[in-house]
Homo-oligomer: A and B are copies of this chain.
Amino acid sequence: MRAPTERQSASETRDRILDAAEALFVEHGFEATTMRMITSRADANIAAVNYHFGSKDALIQEVFKRRLTELNRRRLAALDRQEAEAGGAPLKPSRIVEAFFGTALEMAADTAHGGHTFMRLLGRTYTEPNGFVRQFLAEEYAEAVERFLAALYRALPDVPREEILWRFHFMMGAMSYAIAGTDALQLFAGKFDDAAPERLLPRLMSFLLGGLRAPLPGQGVPGENGRGAPTRQ
């Protein structure tokens, strides 16, 4: 048996490649990241990616699958917990929003496990036009989105479902930028010093809930439901 200090085991090589790829994809994007960059950063051979993953595209998919499955597992677990506590009653919107977006930010705060890196990548990828990655995201997300939307529909029975759908979409955008975070912010505001990550979650939550519960368009007075007929149930 060889000393494990010099060369790590095979499975570790695989993980190092995934970590390196993840970081480089964030930094440079998918296309601009080359196999040579990945393998050199992972301290592996140029042929290792093809050996372990088969192709660059397959590697990209693995980078996502590794974290996304876990993220949505946690999200659904958080939702389950809330629903168990509520015992059949509709949840408060704030609980639902926290289970979905709070879990994501939690994972983004977990720098030790590459959470931050990945969440930035994920946020960016939604709006990116990369065919097979989007297809893949859609599949991985289907179940979670389904359940969270259903919870929101129950929580806000007076709000038209399409309005909720759009607001969910807007919230995703806000979250994406929240995680992309300081980098993008400094782009137009150098004088920015309070980037404390532990304050990000409450900041984002206030904003999201304010947006989610805002008066419907075409209604001047909050609380009063004029047009915008409630959907059934």
Question: Do residues A163 and B31 form an inter-chain contact, with CB atoms below 8 A?
Answer: no
Query: What's the nearest-Cβ distance from chain B to residue A158, in Å?
Result: 15
Chain B positions within 8 Å of A176 at CB level: 127, 173, 176-177
Chain B positions within 8 Å of A124 at CB level: 127-128
Chain B positions within 8 Å of A192 at CB level: 162, 165
Q: A169–B28 Cα gap in the complex (Å)? A: 22
Query: What's the nearest-Cβ distance from chain B to residue A20, in Å?
Result: 16
Query: What's the nearest-Cβ distance from chain B to residue A56, in Å?
Result: 13
Asked if A230 is at the interface (CB within 8 A of a chain B CB), the reply is no
Asked if A92 is at the interface (CB within 8 A of a chain B CB), the reply is no
Q: How large is the interface on A (under 10, 10 to 19, 20 to 34, 35 or more residues)?
A: 35 or more
Question: Do residues B216 and A213 form an inter-chain contact, with CB atoms below 8 A?
Answer: no
Closest to A135 in B: B187
Question: Do residues A177 and B188 form an inter-chain contact, with CB atoms below 8 A?
Answer: no
Chain B positions within 8 Å of A202 at CB level: 217-218
Q: A142–B188 Cα gap in the complex (Å)? A: 6
Q: A28–B131 Cα gap in the complex (Å)? A: 9
State which residues 170-187 of A face B: CB under 8 Å.
170-178, 180, 184-185, 187
- The complex is assembled from copies of this chain, and their number is 2
Q: Mark A189-228, 1 if CB is under 8 A from B, else 0.
A: 1001110000100111111111111111110000000000
Asked if A167 is at the interface (CB within 8 A of a chain B CB), the reply is yes
Q: A204–B124 Cα gap in the complex (Å)? A: 20
Shortest 6 CB-CB distances between A and B: which pairs? A210-B214, A173-B177, A202-B217, A31-B31, A211-B211, A170-B174
Question: Do residues B203 and A163 form an inter-chain contact, with CB atoms below 8 A?
Answer: yes
Asked if A123 is at the interface (CB within 8 A of a chain B CB), the reply is yes
Give 13 A-B contacts (CB < 8 Å), ordered by A residue: A29-B31, A29-B128, A126-B180, A127-B177, A162-B194, A166-B203, A170-B177, A170-B207, A176-B176, A202-B217, A207-B214, A208-B211, A210-B215
